[in-house]
Structure 1
């Protein structure tokens, strides 16, 4: 009886060791994927900031052109007034 229990315990310990190894491998894979996703996220955030800056610069240039065009239109007489 004791030998049978000991044999079962050895089998269970062996199974737990194998399962633990599999879980450690899966954990490492998940950590690697997380690190890769963090890098990708950082790159995307930088890209978004660059795009936002570009859009702000473009909007400022358009606004300046609109103001310039508005100033030119009010400063020079229209063809109907000439």
Structure 2
């Protein structure tokens, strides 16, 4: 009788262990899917960031050129004789 009880307990423990392993496998699959989605989002964010940085650099160059042209015009106006 004692032996039968131990076998039942072992079977119950084994059943619990099987369920836990099954749950862990499922959780692992979900996490792998989430990880893949996050990697894709990160790659897209990096691409967008790079594109925005290039755009910003282009805008800064244009602003610098515009500022230089305006400064040259101001200097020309300042250097020209005043109208009477």
| Structure-2 residue corresponding to 1:4 | 12
Range with greater deviation from structure 2 (64-73 or 4-13): 64-73
* Residue 30 of structure 2 is aligned to residue 22 of structure 1: yes
Alignment correspondent of 2:81: 73
Unmatched tracts of structure 1, length 5 or more: none
CA RMSD of superposed structures (Å): 0.9
| Ranges in structure 2 where 5+ consecutive residues have no aligned partner | 1-8
When the two structures are superposed, what TM-score results if normalisation uses the length of structure 1?
0.88
Aligned residues: 76
Moved segments of 4+, more than 6 Å = none
